[in-house]
Structure 1
Amino acid sequence: IAKAGVPEASRGKLADAARKMFDAGRAVEARSVEINPLVVLADGRVVAADCRMTIDDYAVFRHPELGIEIARELDHPPTPLERIAYRIEQEDHRGTFFFAQMNTQATPASKGLIGFHGAGGGGSMMSMDAIAAEGFTLANFCDTSGNPSVAKVYRAARIILSQPGLVGYFGSGSGVANQEQFWSAYGLAKAFNEMRLDIPAVIRLGGNGEDRAVDILTSACRGLSVKVEGYKKTDPPARIAARFAGLVEERRAGDATLPAWKPRKPARPAFVGNGVSLEVRGGRVWIDPAAWRSNAPAIIARSGGLLRDEGGKPVATVPPEQFATKDNELIACEVECLRDGIGGFFVELDMPELEPAGKGAH
């Protein structure tokens, strides 16, 4: 303090302020505390004219007195979608899920507002730069990485698609992720089909099992009205961003009156609520009894050994508490049935905050 040229009369008060700042930060487990500026008034008093304190995310739960809703470094009060995303992350610790809203409208001269879905922080940033360079405005940042569950990726996609006005869905991450990419493909395919996606989607699924992942995503989405394309680690973000821009322009050129994305209820089969039901983590498996009679062998073959037939009815091969933890495998079963045109099997995942009253469209 003396070397900074502070008058001797104020040095003690500044030293006291520094000590109090340290004590205040330590009391709430802050990662950093910044006072800028620290002002010495004409009467000699020392005052913090402005202060910023960042609390360790993992310490927030120990300090309810701070009133922090979401342990994230957001530059704005949390939005309803950010609250939903944070709850999902808190309830499912398989992998990570970060979601932050950025823009609700495209900037002037932009090619449009897009939903962004990354995988891995550094690769996601690079991919965001690539899509921004193509002239698009990002509605959000999203990262599902660290080997996320299928349900977590599905719910992330549902949240992204709860934003109106999107002209496309762009997904790209590190390209060398050490996680099985086919699990993410199952989650995306389920979400895109339930939401009846009608805006172009380009997804880079680089990493372990990428060939299988791209095949799952593209084949499961072939019945949609738009192109859903999958890419691998050898496809750089700049190239797929340019391809995405081409698909958006192609859609506009085909019919200039086509609207941007409008959030909607998820499509649900008619047997949801009426068929055989088995509890699974965060939802329920529904099986149509009529379809089971003809499709049982095919569904069983895709269930990962979790289902069998007993007297013409589907039953689990493992205890209920174990069956409930197999949501990855059961969602995969649903998507594999979809790919092969086999009806009668559906996993209903709870997301009541995103759904208006009543069941989804059939």
Structure 2
Amino acid sequence: MARLHEHQGKSLLAGEKIGIPRGEAVRTPSEAKKIAEELGCEVVVKGQAWVTGRASLGLIKFADSPETAADAASSILGKEVGGFEIDTVLVEEKLNVKQEFYAGVIIDDIAQAPRIIFSAKGGSGVEQIASEHPDALAQTIVNIQTGFPDYYARDLVRQVGIHGKLQLALGLLLSRLYLVARNSDARAAEINPIVLTEDGKLIAADCRITVDDYAVFRHPRLEIEVAREFDRPPTELERIAWDVEKGDYRGTFYFIQMEQDFKRGDKVIGFHGAGGGGSMMSMDAILNKGYKIANFVDTSGNPPASKVYRAARIILAQGPIDGYFASGSGVASQEQFHSARGLAKAFLEVPLNVPAVIRL
């Protein structure tokens, strides 16, 4: 999956006429000051990063003037959190909160359909809400052929005891959130919290949207660089690996770096798997022997030799690994042949100068 930043997700919400706070994403303190001046009210400055608990990490600050907004942006920009160097902040009007709700559209892999979740309480995680306030939460599976019209949504809202005009407004918002998820090929689209303001407006104060990686090509305007669910910006090698994978649907090539800045003798192994289950068992075996794993790679589903070759070259380009471990479940003879051919070509070119275990 590919995660969107908050400001990107809010642009999708606004496209379906879901209310969002007035504001703009900026990259400098002077731009933050300018937006705060234009808004003419107290603002909140929010660092854009794929992490939870941003307030506790110092990435969300309130400001009562353009000058303090610039100071807040200055203190957030350049900060390193969870592998991110914050380069963008979202400057928005501060909302007058009367009540908070939660809404989410999540693909249920067991039901093989979207699941809509709504809660009369928002702000905290939906798991915590379900545990502490089960009566405040309602959910339903959506038939994708009929969709999720507002009268279905109103019934869901009614189940948690909300009636009248607020039920109508929340039902409309829920049906629009479903359209956001459907039209953007989202695996998950959540608004937490939905804020009911003192003047009666429903506003998406924060959101989290992840797009199915195999659908990213349909959404160039989202400017998704690498369609993987990282909790940090992609590395240079991860970008190269994605360039190999994104236009070639013959088999799978999945690459994630797990160790960096290591040296020879640190017991770091380059890992090359084929098939998720077998790969996990092999990685466990390596870790149980006291080694570290430089990366996770999966080339499976009958990939061509060229894809396996490029995967091997990328693994070997990570740095001074102490070994190369390839293990998988190439059940088809042609898959074993193409994998062996790709590995042999890579090992001859680099060349391979560390111990290797190759188990196809």
Q: Normalization by structure 1: what TM-score?
A: 0.50
Which structure has more RCO (C-alpha within 8 Å, separation ≥ 6)?
Answer: 2
More strand by share: 2
> Greater Rg, structure 1 or structure 2?
1
